[in-house]
Amino acid sequence: MRARRSCLAVPGSNPRFIEKAQGLAADEVFLDLEDAVAPAAKEQARENAVAALRDGDWSGKTIVVRINDVTTQWAYRDVVDIVEGAGDRLDCLLLPKVEDASHVVWLDMLLTQIEKALGLTRRIGIEAQIESARGLVNVDAIAASSDRLETLVFGPADFMASIGMKTLVVGEQPPGYGEGDAYHYILMRILMAARANDLQAIDGPYLQIKDVDGFRRVARRAAALGFDGKWVLHPSQVEAGNEVFSPSQEDYEHAELILDAYEYYTTVERRGAAMLGNEMIDEASRKMALVVAAKGRAAGL
């Protein structure tokens, strides 16, 4: 599994941002050809993305390109030009506005054709954005639609527009909703579909880029449920994202302790359950500890 605690959005039309992104500590960078790029700049953005993939230093990062959605006139050429131009450098394509499993199947087939034609040996993965009512209703079929899929990504801005949520502040609770979390159902629905198919789940952007505390608050909500990471739009959000989606040092050390203790009790003492301080641990505790330990190790704790 690739690390995706922080997934940095970089407009393909902005060479300066593309240059800068290479020096940031984001786990993933995606070069955007979709909504951050004006229609008149789409072709130039494609060319910039190919050049950036070929010449840039993306080592240590997951490198992704977001193409335009399948209903547009740009989508097929995005795939052909990016993969023919730099497919050997690309980890995944990010497909926005996925509403039906057939959208992913289309991209899977096209990738297979181009990979065969070019003799590419490294298989390109797919990330699917869920950002409409229709996408959410079909999310189980979408999540099971291709073995290239690596992650589902929530697109809150398009989603809020799609359902008519009564707010313009992406990711924040709509005024008048009261105490609960208006996003809980959506996030949980995406997370279940992802986990049922061994995929990662990524939360979308927080647009108030000056408000890092707000970013942290919204990111913690997704991290608490089990999400693997979140989009970041600005360098100030990168560190916060990496921190929120890593376990705390304390939780990490506790998880390693559970794993060590469990190993000892089951192998040396041949017991299935045992006490660690005041806490009873068994096989299920080991599984929980493994998740935290794996995330902690990946974060270099």
Binding partner of residue 205 among Mg ion, ligand GLV, none, CB cut-off 5 to 8 Å per kind: ligand GLV
Please, what is the minimum distance in Å from the beta carbon of residue 203 to ligand GLV?
Answer: 10
Exactly one of 156, 241, 247, 296 binds ligand GLV (CB under 6 A); which one? 156
Q: Which residues are paired to 63 by β-bridges?
A: 29
Comparison of 36 and 193: residue with beta carbon closer to ligand GLV: 36
- Between the alpha carbon of residue 25 and those of residues 60, 175, 222, 295, the distances in Å are 9, 34, 20, 16
Whole-angstrom Cα distance, residue 158 to residue 211? 21
Please, what is the minimum distance in Å from the beta carbon of residue 19 to ligand GLV?
Answer: 23
Comparison of 56 and 96: residue with beta carbon closer to ligand GLV: 96
With 0-12 / 13-18 / 19 or more C-beta atoms within 10 angstroms meaning exposed / middle / buried, residue 282 is middle
Interface with Mg ion in residues 83-142 (CB under 5 A): 131
Please, what is the minimum distance in Å from the beta carbon of residue 207 to ligand GLV?
Answer: 8
- Between the alpha carbon of residue 36 and those of residues 68, 140, 235, the distances in Å are 11, 28, 17
Please, what is the minimum distance in Å from the beta carbon of residue 205 to Mg ion?
Answer: 8
Comparison of 125 and 156: residue with beta carbon closer to ligand GLV: 156
Report residue 253 as tokens: 């050390």
Exactly one of 125, 135, 155, 229 binds Mg ion (CB under 5 A); which one? 155
Instruction: Please tell me whether residue 204 binds ligand GLV under the rule CB under 6 A.
Output: yes
Interface with ligand GLV in residues 100-139 (CB under 6 A): 129, 131
Exactly one of 157, 188, 290, 301 binds ligand GLV (CB under 6 A); which one? 157
Exactly one of 28, 158, 203, 228 binds Mg ion (CB under 5 A); which one? 158
DSSP state of 25: -
With 0-12 / 13-18 / 19 or more C-beta atoms within 10 angstroms meaning exposed / middle / buried, residue 140 is middle
Whole-angstrom Cα distance, residue 298 to residue 301? 8
Residue 267 identity (one-letter amino acid): T
Exactly one of 11, 155, 229, 247 binds ligand GLV (CB under 6 A); which one? 155
Which run of H or E residues covers position 188?
Answer: helix 184-196
Which of 233, 286, 284 has the alpha carbon at shortest distance from 261?
Answer: 286
Exactly one of 81, 91, 108, 158 binds ligand GLV (CB under 6 A); which one? 158
Instruction: Please tell me whether residue 205 binds ligand GLV under the rule CB under 6 A.
Output: yes
Q: Which residues bind ligand GLV (CB under 6 A)?
A: 96, 129, 131, 155-158, 204-205
Q: Which residues bind Mg ion (CB under 5 A)?
A: 131, 155, 158
